[in-house]
Amino acid sequence: MDDDAGTTGPTRPAPTTGPRQTWAGLPWPVRTAVTWSACLLVIAAGLWLLGQVAVLLAPLAVALAGTLFLAALLDPVLVRLRRLRVPAALAALLSILLLLGILVGVGALVWNLTASQFGELSQQLDEGLQRSRDFVTSTLPVTDQQLDRLVEQVRQGLSSGAPDPVSGARRAAEVVGSLLLGLVLLFFLLKDGRSMWRWVLRRMAGPRRDLTAEAGRAGWRTLGAYSRGTMIIAAIDALGIGLALVVLRVPLALPLALITFLGGFVPIIGATVAGAVAVLVALAANGPTTALLTLAAVIAVQQIEGNLLEPLVMRRQVQLHPAVILVVVTAGTLVAGVAGAFVSVPIAAVLWRVLDTVQRHRSGEVTRTAEATG
């Protein structure tokens, strides 16, 4: 009997179809699509969580952002006071009092010069609205009854969307609390901001300290440049449009100039809204010819500001694409209303500059490493 008759050779293991083999067997476009989809889902979930936190802490976040904005705006004043050997606490207090004095003084001046014009403007608005109504009904295929129904629907929609007294009181309390918190934080930030930053840097070691210091300086310079540049550009816009309104004898020129100044802190949208208000007041007060001249003046001033002043004042430190600005302003408005629209763009500009600095720092490290090993 052959001893080898009942024996068999070594058997090969049957091929397994585990997760790795299944994944490797998929075409590469499918693997790429699955990987990117998973990454997008994780990013979307993270952004959603951040959005929920931002909504819950919106008053605190807006107060912190506004405090940093004002601190960057007042930092040159604080530095000059400190160079005169003024104590830190007194220098911070004097800087805040200067800011409050300017705001209160400008508000009181505008009110005293224009309070008597509000009654006259009410009558002019009625006449202007009536002229606008006659123009619409005589030019467009719209009857008086259809226009009345449209106006009534708009009025009812605005009334239904208005907040109830309880939520309005709660929102007013939140605004007052945020303002008080912002003032207190502004004082301590001006007084101890630099020592706080040095304390943070001392807790780091090695390359992280240098990277954090560089990114922090870049972000702070960007915020300071944005705050001061925006204030200068908004003031020039307000001065140009205000002078045009005075020349055209449009009532309430000073309040409209003040609205233009405040609107300058909300890029693109703020200037558009402020210009529209000025044109509507001119139309109601002096008729369509003055309104067209006002519109031409607003467009001319904004074109000079956008094409000449903004690149000259802002340089390249805070440049963001207009599409990015629109998205950021819209998101800030949805999260925190008007206050969110004011602070959203400087936050985005600072974050962009910090990320750009980190990327440049890492690229420099990679280059230096490659040169050393080569």
Please list, in sequence order, all residues whose beta carbon lies within 8 angstroms of the beta carbon of residue 273, skipping any fewer than 6 positions away.
263, 266
Judged against a pLDDT cut of 60, whether residue 62 lies above it is answered with: yes
- Cα–Cα distance for residue pair 143/127, rounded to 1 Å: 19
Whole-number CA gyration radius for the chain:
30
Contacts of 60 (CB under 8 A, 6+ apart): 178, 181
Torsion angle defined by CA atoms of residues 123, 125, 126 and 132, in that order, rounded to the nearest 10 degrees: 150
Confidence label for 84 from pLDDT (cuts 50, 70 and 90): very high
In a domain, 180, yes or no: yes
Number of domains making up the chain: 1
Instruction: List pLDDT tens digits, range 300-355.
Output: 988 887 777 766 666 555 667 777 777 887 887 777 677 777 778 888 888 888 88
Tell me if 308 sits within 8 A of 264, measured CB to CB: no
Quote the mean pLDDT of the chain: 78
Q: 271: exposed, middle or buried (C-beta count within 10 Å: 0-12, 13-18, 19+)?
A: buried
Reported as a single tens digit per residue, the pLDDT across 177-198 is 778 888 888 999 999 988 998 8
Answer for the pair 247, 303: CB distance below 8 angstroms, yes or no.
Answer: no
Q: Is residue 187 part of a domain?
A: yes
Range with the poorest average pLDDT among 166-170, 184-188, 243-247: 166-170
Q: What is the torsional sign of CA 259, 70, 95, 186? A: positive
Per-residue pLDDT band for 222 (boundaries 50, 70, 90) equals confident
Q: Does some domain include residue 240? A: yes
Q: What is the pLDDT of residue 1?
A: 47
Residue 82 falls inside a structural domain: yes
CB distance 353 to 219 below 8 Å: yes
Range of the domain at 51: 41-149+173-367
Q: The whole model's pTM is what?
A: 0.67
Q: Cα–Cα distances in Å, from 330 out to 14, 195, 280? A: 60, 35, 24
